[in-house]
Structure 1
Amino acid sequence: MPVPVAELAKLFPLDALRPETREQLAREATVSEYARNEAVFRVGDMDEDTCYLIEGELRCEYPDGRTVAHVAGSGHGRYSLNDAVPRRFTATVVTQRARVIRLERRFIEKVITWDQLSRDPTYRFHDSSAGGSAWVFRLLHSHAFIKLPTGNLERMFSRFEEVYVKPGEIVMREGDVPDNFYVIREGTAAVSKYLDGAPQVVAYLREGDIFGEDALLANVPRNATVRMMQGGRLMKLSKEAFEAVLKPPMVSWVLPAEAARLVQEGATLVDVRMPGEFAQRAIHGAANVPLYRLREEMPSLLAPGGRVVVYCNTGERSAAAAFVLNAQGYTVHAMHGGLGAMLRMQAASAPAV
């Protein structure tokens, strides 16, 4: 159900945002309806949403027995339903029905930060024309940036360099040494790879899409060619800027023991090395999906949204794999130290003979 922009203008702190920012949030928001005695959420829940009550009344019940009423349209009702994680109380509908606006918590924080940063009329990345900042909102909402701390946004934008490109221009070529990370600000591009001895288009990119991160994370040659279809503008981060601003928060590292626990609890273990390496030695139970084939093959192994543990020999390729899979919507952990660390742990825990 679409959310009217006017509804967001009644809510705190969304009422202080620029109209264009509220319009973007309205596109991403959803409205959920609840009947009497239904719970919007329960104490201890770990959901990722900011919730605003726009119709009805809720009873907010704390573990100590204390209850508080939350009424839509009241002064208190302008505020969200407590964003603490885990949830501190159970919110139950007491009226005939209730309607709740839901927005992804981390996206709201990033959008509010962008709205504040770009208010300076001289800010070089804000474009007041219709749709001029669409690339920013799409970038901030991408799965690839979900783990980026909000505090890193200013650092990222301050280090962006704008590059103008022509139709047909090759921005990067398969096999090249990695140098930069890119975001498409304006225009479209085609991504191609050599498959079965011939170049084949494997993806198309538009405003707000990113490319070039795989090779920077794994410190390996480019695994694809990107050619502009339309002329436009790119935002570029140098390798040094990318490693300083984006690389550290993008990967969730786990030690071998934690990786083993996650797999026991149902996570899919994926070896992102080449098939020859996998055949020579691998962790029992792992699936082999080489880094360069992740985008194409991973959905047939596990639907987006699933939990994945990735590993390679040292961790370099795992970092790139984690970024790729995060962008596709998976919950990903990379095993610190790679295959060698897991084998050492297994050897140390084996009974003496």
Structure 2
Amino acid sequence: MASYRSKNSHGRYFITDGLINKSTDNPIPLLGNPDPLNTISIDILRSFVPLNILSDDHLKTISRSHEMDLAVLGQSIANAEILRDSHLFLVSGSVDVELDDGQPLRICGGTENSHLSLGDSFPTAVGVTAVEDCQIFLLNRSQLDAMLCWDQVAKTLALDFSANRHFDEDASWMNTLLRSNLFHKIPPYNVKSIFDRFEARVVKAGEVIVHEGEQGDICYLIKEGCAHVSCVHNNESTMVAELLPGRCFGEDALLNKTTRNATVTMKTNGVLMGLHKRDFLALMTEPEVATLNIEEAVKTVANGARWLDVRSQQEYENDHRADAFHLPMHLMSLKSRLMDVNTRYVAYCSTGRRASTVAYLLNQQGFNVQPLAGH
């Protein structure tokens, strides 16, 4: 029987006794080496919703950390719990999706009904069974929503940069920073605050910025100019790389207590943007956002509030609440102008993470938005 390999931080998924299960404590050991034929390509990932709106960086992360698995004829692939906690995508082959009324629906890979995860296409599904050999892969819902949050907030900020002449001088390095894997660790609530924490430093050619072996507490991004990186080997200093505008260095100082592993010296005059470790750690703290459970949310809407759907266009078109105002996260700056500051809104998505982020950001602008808790 095949095993499902997933190396994400939310625990591994594996197939045993014909059913995909989840374990965070004692996962069944994976047999054999990863099969390159099971690698999920970027093109395959981009064919699914909402993965199609993820940045290339996050798609590459998923491609590196997840693999497709083969489910064989008659195999029970998932139950209601798995479908609730995970996105189950059908790459090829056919499955029967069992609904809560006991009726099965036949779904074939590559068709319109398979572009969304099976749990999203059929919210009342309680099980999935392979009716022929098929390829599938799973993504933890919370993990995916965290990526979606970051990407959508970053796109919103990029639109702000391009529309605001005030950012003309800084737009390039700001957009570069938003694509940095290091800053994907910061909660999306705090993304906009990153730029307020950076301090500019004017530097001259020949100036040593960091020394190999010293303790570091600042990360730098090159806004203007270029630098070279050197390491000492056999008592001789050797240049190993050149850093151009847009490159970060010294990131390890923000995450670890390790010493600098190289020396960075300015090759030309320039300007660096520096972020201190204390500021980075402050940005890692998520603000508390009060949520509503489903009963409270329904009652709030019945009393005059309006649903606010913050998912992607295709997710919204597949299924949405009656009279919901659609506000995709990446269009928040543009479409929020159509919202009424005197109206109360209840934001929702698939896990509550995107809804909480949008609620937090909109409330800072004077709106009255409460998110629906993950469900």
User: What's the TM-score bracket when you normalise by the shorter of the two chains?
Assistant: 0.3 to 0.5
User: Could you state the TM-score of these two structures normalised by the residue count of structure 2?
Assistant: 0.41
TM score, norm. by length of structure 1: 0.43
